[in-house]
Amino acid sequence: MKITIQSLNKQYKNGFSALKNINLEINEGLFGLLGPNGAGKTTFMRILVTLMKPSSGIVQVDDFDLMRHRRQIRSMLGYLPQDFSVFSKLSTWEFLDYTAALAGLTNGRERKRAVDEMLEKVGLYDARDRQANKLSGGMKRRLGIAQALIGHPKIVVVDEPTTGLDPEERIRFRNLLSDMTHREIIIILSTHIVSDISSTCNTMALLNKGELIYNDAPEKLIAEARGHVFQINALDSDLDTIKEKYPVIATIPSADGWEVQVVADGLHDFHGTEIEPNLEHAYVYRMEYGLDN
């Protein structure tokens, strides 16, 4: 199965172009959509899950067209929106049972088994009788992924799932997504947090100001930044100048001042040593020096 996107544009009523000529193919596995706030990620996700219509362009899921086969495509989708919350007073178990029924699991006995299994998988079985809207932030997010996955969707869309989670819950959530990935489904994860992508995704896209500026493996983006990341041993008095000249990734205190990590096409005024880039360096390098894909 694959999603094919051609010349996708979205212009809001006020004339603002949130997506500009996006061409993209998304295959089975975990696909990461990375970009700063305002890049157009939510707009893109909402179009994919049929909550919003594009201004122009084509989105196809295999042979189904998003505009002509909305119902069929909807039946393949699971969605965890950015602002997922549970308003009702249902227990965790009742809530998931309810969403499972909506997702088409009509046989009571099968549904009960599916709900129990899913609660086990996301680590909420012991919380099954607790009121869903009173769960902690991390637990709610896990209930969110459970409700997105319960109807055996072929495409799962997850919008900024780790925002606001503490590190432990963030790691737990990422592991949960990786665990789901061996099934033959497409999982699309949107995030502005680089480390969400590096540890989980096999393919990624980078969105900036509505434009697709990268689409390939995270490792390739990292390779591109090789030779462009430097560590400068700096004094207090150098810091401002360095920040003016180069995008700074990290400023780490050292014995005699600071170790400053920067991305640059080359260092001119400061002496630095080249260091091995990680995805965060590579992301900043691409955003700042914007090569053609």
Residues that bind ligand ADP (CB under 6 A): 12, 14, 16, 18, 35, 37-43
Helix 108-121, helix 137-149: angle, nearest 10: 140
Radius of gyration of the chain (CA): 22
Which of helix, strand or coil describes residue 163?
coil
Least Å distance, CB 156 to ligand ADP, is 17
Least separation in angstroms between CB 82 and ligand ADP: 7
Helix axes 92-102, 108-121, angle to 10 degrees: 120
Q: Tell me the pairing of strands 29-34 and 186-191.
A: parallel
Closest residue by Cα to residue 148 from 139, 156, 140? 156
**Residue 73 C-beta: closest distance to ligand ADP, Å:** 20
- Residue 231, Cβ neighbours under 10 Å: how many? 17
Secondary structure (H, E, C), 226-282 = CCCEEEEEECHHHHHHHHHHCCEEEEEEECCEEEEEEECCCCCCCCEEECCCCHHHH
Minimum gap (Å) between residue 59 Cβ and ligand ADP: 16
Instruction: Give the torsion through C-alpha atoms of 169, 175, 177, 179, to 10 deg.
Output: -150
What is the nearest approach in angstroms of ligand ADP to the Cβ of residue 218? 19
Cα 83 to Cα 166: distance, rounded to the nearest angstrom: 17
The nearer residue to ligand ADP, 14 or 106, going by C-beta atoms, is: 14
Which of 52, 267 has the CB closer to ligand ADP?
52
CB of 158 vs ligand ADP, minimal distance in Å: 13
Q: How far is the CB of 178 from ligand ADP (least distance, A)?
A: 23
Cβ 279 vs Cβ 219: under 8 Å? no
Shortest spacing between CB 161 and ligand ADP, in angstroms: 13
What SS3 class is residue 36? coil
Amino acid, single-letter form, for residue 241: T
Nearer to ligand ADP, 10 or 142 (CB): 10
Q: Rounded to an integer, what distance in angstroms lies between the CA atom of residue 224 and that of residue 214?
A: 11
Taking the least distance from each CB to ligand ADP, the nearer of 135 and 205 is: 205
